[in-house]
Amino acid sequence: MDFCSSDHADSAKRPKLVITYAFPDTAFITASGPVTFCNGSSVLLSANSGNGLSYQWKKNGNSIAGATGITYFAASGGNYTVTVTNSAGCSAVSSPVSVAVNSLPSAAIAPGGPTTFCSGESVLLNAPAGSNRLYQWKKNGIDIPGAVASSYNVNSGGVYKVRVTNMLTGCVKTSSNGISVTVNSLPSSSITPQGPTTFCAGGSVVLAANTGTGLTYKWKKGGNYISGATLSNYTATTGGNYKVQVTNSNGCSKTSGNVAVTVPCKEGEIVSSLNNLDFTVYPNPNSGEFTIKFLHHPASSIQIELTDEIGKVVKKIETENETVVIKESNLAKGIYCLTARNMDEMVIKKMNVVE
């Protein structure tokens, strides 16, 4: 057993009295668990017990303020010792216990774009990539099956987090602040014709889109926007495939399905009080090669247009001849309209192109 001593002498110069006290038997530390762990965890260090003992814990040789109990929770890395002192004031110092704390992987999420968008769109959420990492994405606190890459493409609303595991240290971290994703719904988009969609040249049909608060409109014919057509209704006067793009107050847009408008002609239709432009077309049906013969010799220039079933002009000529031969062997099979007009009158005839 070790000893510590103390000298005492009185003022009369009597001989010194030497009092000898015993050191504590020993000082040692017992760890209650692993001394290597992840940041955020700790290990309980316990000193030896005994009657009348007091304690001072140290980290890297420096006293830890307030750490004077028989145990100490170590939460940071370093070399820990404990000084054990008995009631006589004699002290012993333990051997050091080395504690290592591994850092947590980063689980911060960086969105690759806006987190508020329209239905049908998406945003890519990115966690910090790195080697020896495992990922698990969560939506509203629930693991998303198969979402185990460093990035995740989100197309539905919710609060998203990611759990990242360092495979070497086993340390795990889940995003503390989730990324809130909002998906705005698309508006309805439909067209209701207010009458027949097949009519003769010079007629029309009103196409009515669905209405609602905060909606705006853009009408299309074919794949092109119609200049100035921004109301909920559009009056179609020519053949074609019509659509409407409806946009709501969130800026989300949806395009309707096609409404086909056709402008065929009636056999022998004459739009005039006169009858000077009447003509015949033969052969009819034909394969794209045919003859137009006016019943009267034209008194002035005549414009001739050949249009298909959706109103597209496929041939346009001007003539003052009584007979006109046209050869268009590349015409698609279908019904065509032949329109002859001058300044006074217009005549429409139907022609059938066959193979």
Is 116 in the same domain as 203? no
| Ramachandran angles phi, psi of 40, nearest 5° | 105, -20
pLDDT tens digits, residue range 105-137?
A: 999 999 999 999 999 999 999 999 999 999 999
Do the Cβ atoms of 128 and 182 come closer than 8 Å?
no
For residues 256 and 191, what is the distance between their CA atoms, to the nearest angstrom?
7
Is 253 in the same domain as 305? no
Domain-ending residue, one of 68, 102, 136: 102
Domain-ending residue, one of 130, 160, 184: 184
Is 15 in the same domain as 98? yes
Which segments in the chain show pLDDT lower than 70? Answer: 1-25, 264-275
Is 10 in the same domain as 98? yes
Number of domains in the chain: 4
pLDDT at 8: 44
User: What is the C-alpha R_g of the chain?
Assistant: 47
Domain-ending residue, one of 138, 169, 184: 184
Is 20 in the same domain as 81? yes
Query: Tokens 């800026």 — which residue?
Result: 251
The amino acid sitting at 265 is C
pLDDT at 266: 55
Residue 96: give its domain's CATH number: 2.60.40.10
For residues 12 and 253, what is the distance between their CA atoms, to the nearest angstrom?
108
pLDDT at 304: 92
Do the Cβ atoms of 352 and 285 come closer than 8 Å?
yes
The amino acid sitting at 206 is V
Give the pair of three-digit tokens for residue 152: 């995740």
Give the pair of three-digit tokens for residue 9: 């002498």
pLDDT at 25: 62
For residues 150 and 60, what is the distance between their CA atoms, to the nearest angstrom?
39
**DSSP category for residue 14:** P
Residue 320: give its domain's CATH number: 2.60.40.3080
- Domain interval for residue 60: 3-102
Is 13 in the same domain as 97? yes
Is 16 in the same domain as 45? yes
